[in-house]
Amino acid sequence: MNQLKCWVCGSENNIPFINQKNDVNIKSTDVKITDDRYGKTLPLYKCSDCSFIFAYPLPENIIELYENLEDDNYISTLEPRVKEMKDILKLSLKINPDAKRILDVGAGIGLMVNEAKKIGLDALGIEPSKWLVNQAKEIFNLEIIEGIVPDEKLKNEKFDIIYAVDVIEHLETPVQFLKDLSLMLNENGLLVIATPDCDSFIANKMKEKWWHFRLAHIGYFNHKSMSLAVKNAGLKLIKYEKQVWYLPFGYLYQRLSNYLPIGFMTPLVKKFKKVDNFPVRLKLGDSMIAFIKK
Ligand SMILES: [Zn+2]
């Protein structure tokens, strides 16, 4: 992509947002799921028409970065992520209670697929990282498809619900992505897109220090730009929900200590493993879940 043009509405009316002087050469280690260099992003621009925020220029090898992704820290933070997946599964089944067959795009090590199978759904997952696909096999004995959408192996396949949790913010063609997903959706099928909300209370308060500003995230939505992306993909937005986060207390504590003078408690937190791993339920509202239909 060599033009400074909004990826959602096509506008050329874009203004510099943050980090204009940053280097655009990034490596696989820069896009780790657990990367915590918040505020470090590629140069970002904001569309004056639809308010979508996107990175420009982009490195050329983005897909490769994800294919080569390895992240040991991620494996140690699975428990709270399972809870997030369960919540999203529950919310989507309220809308489509008769769903039988689901697909998780950007499936990681298969947390969503695993939870869906547990409740009797026929579940498939697709994931670009070879390492994560191997971990899914090792940890859950799941066969996750190694690849990205659209994929030959999924051609002609249809699903009742398709999930893309924390995926669309990594993609440079979000509208095309929604179109590709809708082709695999049954007539009454449901598309569930979860992504950070850059107009949330916390995002507005923390400005460029917001934890979702990171190198791996190249596109940032609010309700306005997400609704427009959905419309431009020829789809209908049903409703938005706020994603609930479950973070291990130790992790949360460590993040908070970057902002608050609570460092003196560190030895105590580290001493008690149970305290360190305790999942804290947070309805921060800084991620949105969009429920979409044809
Ligand atoms: Zn725009």
Q: Is the pLDDT of residue 273 over 70?
A: no
Predicted confidence at residue 269, as pLDDT, reads 66
Predicted confidence at residue 266, as pLDDT, reads 72
pTM for the predicted model, two decimal places: 0.89
Q: How far is the CA of 11 from the centre of ligand 1 (A)?
A: 5
Q: Is the pLDDT of residue 13 over 90?
A: yes
- Rounded to the nearest 10°, the torsion over CA 134, 36, 172, 201 is 130
Strand partners, 192: 163, 291
Cα angle 226-230-234, degrees, rounded to a multiple of 5: 165
- Nearest Cα to 165, choosing from 83, 96, 54? 83
Q: What are the tens digits of pLDDT across the range 121-169? A: 999 999 999 999 999 999 999 999 999 999 999 999 999 999 999 999 9
Predicted confidence at residue 38, as pLDDT, reads 78
Q: How far is the CA of 233 from the centre of ligand 1 (A)?
A: 14
Q: How far is the CA of 48 from the centre of ligand 1 (A)?
A: 7
Q: What are the tens digits of pLDDT across the range 78-121? A: 887 898 999 999 999 999 999 999 999 999 999 999 999 999 99
Q: How far is the CA of 82 from the centre of ligand 1 (A)?
A: 34
All domains of the chain in start order, with CATH: 14-293 (3.40.50.150)
> From CA 281, how far away is CA 221, in angstroms rounded?
23
Q: How far is the CA of 126 from the centre of ligand 1 (A)?
A: 29
Q: How far is the CA of 33 from the centre of ligand 1 (A)?
A: 27
Q: Is the pLDDT of residue 184 over 90?
A: yes
